[in-house]
Structure 1
C-alpha cells in the first residue's frame, strides 16, 4: 500500500501495572493478591492497582475507601517512587541498546523509533519481542508492546494484548485496523468526547472517517483536525528523545477539606513557590495559568487565563491563581488545589505539520 506520509517503525512499550508489579516482585508475599499502591484511609487515593485488584473495579485515582469497599481483601502498599525510578532507568537502558530515539512518556512507557537501529534488525516485531524478554530477564517484570508505522497506532496497539503481549499493525493493515477500532480506543478520545461522538452516531473509526474535516473542527475544535488525520493513519509526530513539556504544574492534597477561599491562600502561595522552583530548574516560563480544584466529592474543576506575556515568578503566578480562585463561587469544600503553567516558551513547532506530506513507498518488514 502507498502512503502519502512518512513511514517509520515505531514501538510503544508499556509496562504492565508497573508500580504494583514492582511491589509484587520485591515482596513475593504480595504475588497473586489484589494490591493498590497508595493510601487506604478516608483521604487516601489509589496511585496504581494490580491486575488482581482491577478485576474488582479498582483503578488509579480512585478514593482509597471506595477501592476497599469494592475489594475488601485489597492490600494497600505505600509508594516507593525512588524504587520505581531505579527500575525505570534500567528498562530505559535496554531501550538504548537498540536505538537512541527513545521518547519516555512516563516511568512506565516510552516510544522507540527502530526504523534504523543499532542491531541492524529489519523487523520491529522481533525487536519488540527481544526487548520485552530482556526486561523480564533483568527485572522480573512483564511489558506489553505495540508496533506500527507511527506513534498513534503503536500506542493503541500496545493495549490490545495486555498484559505481557504485543500487537503489530502492518502498513497494509493500518486502514482496516483503524476503521474497525472502537472510538473509545482512540488515544485522545476521553469519556466525555466518546459520549459526544456516540450521540453523533460515531462508534468506530469507520464512522469517524465519514465525517468531514469541517464538521469535526466545528464540533470538536482543534481536536477535530487531529481526529480527521489519525483515523486515516496520518500522525507525523517523530519520536523526540528530549520531549518538550506541554505544561509544568504543582498540586497539594489536604489532610482536611477547605471550605473557604481564605483558608486556601497560604496553600496557593506554597504551591506557587513549588511551581516557580520547577520552572527555574527547567529554565522555562509560560503564558497560560490553570487553577485545578478537586472538591470533596471528587469532582474536578479547572479555571484558566492566558496572559499576553511569559511569566515564571511566584508572585505573578500567585496573583493570577488568586484571581482564578475568586472567579466564581466554590461548589463544595476542597480537597486538592493545583496550579499549572502551559503555553511554554520551550515549546517548538513540529518539524512537519500533519498536513505537510511527502510521497513515499516503502516495503517494511514489520
Structure 2
C-alpha cells in the first residue's frame, strides 16, 4: 500500500435481510418461512425478501407477480417503516458507543471509522464482533460486517460471509483480495457495467488491473478513474458523520397506467405537496427540479430545469413540474411519476486542494 493515502480502520455493518427479519422477529409464525415485504397486488414490488425466499430467486425490486411465480408459498407482509426506523435508531446508538464517526447509508447499513475509538480497542475485527453481538442481544437481529482499510473494501467484504458473519481484509491482503474478486462483486459495478466489462475481457479484479486509466475512461467515462483506483486499494473517501442529501424527492406508482397528461396533473399536485412537507421538515430548498417518468414498459425518462433561485413551495415546484411534463410528448402510458429537488441550499463548497498537498499518515495496524 502507498504511504500517501491514509490507512484507516473502517467497519461496514450491514443488517441481514433487515425489513424481512424485523417482520419475522415480531411475528414468530413467519420465522423459517419465505416472506417478502411489499405489496402483493398486480403492480406490487418486493422491498425486501427473507433468506428463505431468496433461495427461490426472490429479490428486492422484483415485481410481486414474478416473486410469487418463483416462490408460490411466498408470504407478503406490508412494510412498517416506523418500526424499521425505531430499530435502526437502536442499532445506531450501539455504533455511537464506539465512535462518533458513523456514516449511515440507509436504515440497515452504515460505515464506522474506529481508527481511534471510544473503547481504546486497537482491533477493528474485535470491535465489529462485539457490535454484532450487541445488536443480536439488544434487538434480536443478525448483522454482518466487513473490516478493512477503506470504505470500498469494507463494503465489499461485508458480503463475503453473509448472513451473520464478518470478513476482515488486512492491509497486506488487500491486493490479493481485490485481484481475486469477481468483477460483478465490485461495489459500483452493476449488471449493465459488468456485462460491458465481460465483453472487454474483464472478469476479475486482476483483469481490471491490467487496463490503463485511459482505457477505462474511454469505455466508462468518469467512472473509469474510480475503477482504476479502487482495484488498487485506493479509495480515500472518509467516513462522513453527517451525510448531507444532494436531492430530496417524492414519487408515486399508480394502480392503473395513465395515458394522458391531464390525468397526471392531479397526481403531480399530490406529489408536489408531499415533497413540500419533506422540504419544510428539514428546512431545505433547491434550484433544480427534476420530473421522473416511468412508462408502462419500465422505460425511465427524466426532465430537469434549474431556476435562478431556491424554492421549497408546493406551487412553484408544481408549476415547474407541469412545464417539464409538457416539454415533450409522452412515449407510452405512465406507471410512475416523481418530482425531486436538487442543487440544494445545504451544499457547501469544498476547500480547494493546494498543489502538491497530500493527506498522509502511516499506521501499523492490528486488525
State the match for 1:72 in structure 2: 72
State the match for 2:365 in structure 1: 364
State the match for 2:345 in structure 1: 345
How far is the alpha carbon of 1:107 from its aligned partner?
Answer: 0.8
Determine if contact 1:6/1:357 at 8 Å carries over to the other structure. no
Determine if contact 1:2/1:361 at 8 Å carries over to the other structure. no
Q: Does 1:63 align with 2:63?
A: yes
- Superposition map of 1:120-269 within 5 A: 120-269=120-269
Determine if contact 1:5/1:236 at 8 Å carries over to the other structure. yes
How far is the alpha carbon of 1:152 from its aligned partner?
Answer: 1.0
Write the deviation string for residues 40-82 of structure 1: whole angstroms up to 9, x where unpaired.
1112221111011111111112221221111110011111111
How far is the alpha carbon of 1:224 from its aligned partner?
Answer: 2.3
Write the deviation string for residues 200-258 of structure 1: whole angstroms up to 9, x where unpaired.
22222222223333333333222222222222212121111111112111011222221
State the match for 2:278 in structure 1: 278
Separation in 1, partners of 2:331, 2:55: 33
1:342 match: secondary structure: strand
How far is the alpha carbon of 1:172 from its aligned partner?
Answer: 1.0
State the match for 1:335 in structure 2: 335
Separation in 1, partners of 2:158, 2:95: 16
Runs of 4+ aligned residues of structure 1 deviating over 6 Å after TM superposition are none
Determine if contact 1:252/1:337 at 8 Å carries over to the other structure. yes
Separation in 2, partners of 1:181, 1:193: 16
Aligned residues: 365
Determine if contact 2:9/2:114 at 8 Å carries over to the other structure. yes
Determine if contact 1:12/1:155 at 8 Å carries over to the other structure. yes
Write the deviation string for residues 95-122 of structure 1: whole angstroms up to 9, x where unpaired.
1111111111111011111011111110
Separation in 1, partners of 2:229, 2:241: 24
1:219 match: secondary structure: helix
Separation in 2, partners of 1:190, 1:90: 31
Separation in 2, partners of 1:191, 1:289: 29
State the match for 1:54 in structure 2: 54
- Superposition map of 1:10-21 within 5 A: 10-21=10-21
- Superposition map of 1:27-42 within 5 A: 27-42=27-42
Determine if contact 1:237/1:352 at 8 Å carries over to the other structure. no
Determine if contact 1:268/1:337 at 8 Å carries over to the other structure. yes
| Range moving further from structure 2, 309-318 or 172-181 | 309-318
Distance 1:206 1:5, change over 3 A: same
Separation in 2, partners of 1:350, 1:187: 25
Determine if contact 2:6/2:362 at 8 Å carries over to the other structure. no
Separation in 2, partners of 1:68, 1:81: 23
State the match for 2:119 in structure 1: 119
User: Unaligned stretches of 5+ in structure 2?
Assistant: none
Separation in 2, partners of 1:241, 1:362: 22
| Range moving further from structure 2, 264-273 or 151-160 | 264-273
How far is the alpha carbon of 1:300 from its aligned partner?
Answer: 3.1
Determine if contact 2:257/2:334 at 8 Å carries over to the other structure. yes
Separation in 2, partners of 1:352, 1:186: 30
Distance 1:326 1:46, change over 3 A: same
How far is the alpha carbon of 1:90 from its aligned partner?
Answer: 1.0
Determine if contact 1:35/1:53 at 8 Å carries over to the other structure. yes
User: Unaligned stretches of 5+ in structure 1?
Assistant: none
Q: Give the RMSD, CA atoms, in angstroms.
A: 2.0
Distance 1:134 1:259, change over 3 A: same
Determine if contact 2:102/2:113 at 8 Å carries over to the other structure. yes
Determine if contact 1:236/1:352 at 8 Å carries over to the other structure. no
1:136 match: secondary structure: helix
TM-score, structure 2 normalization: 0.93
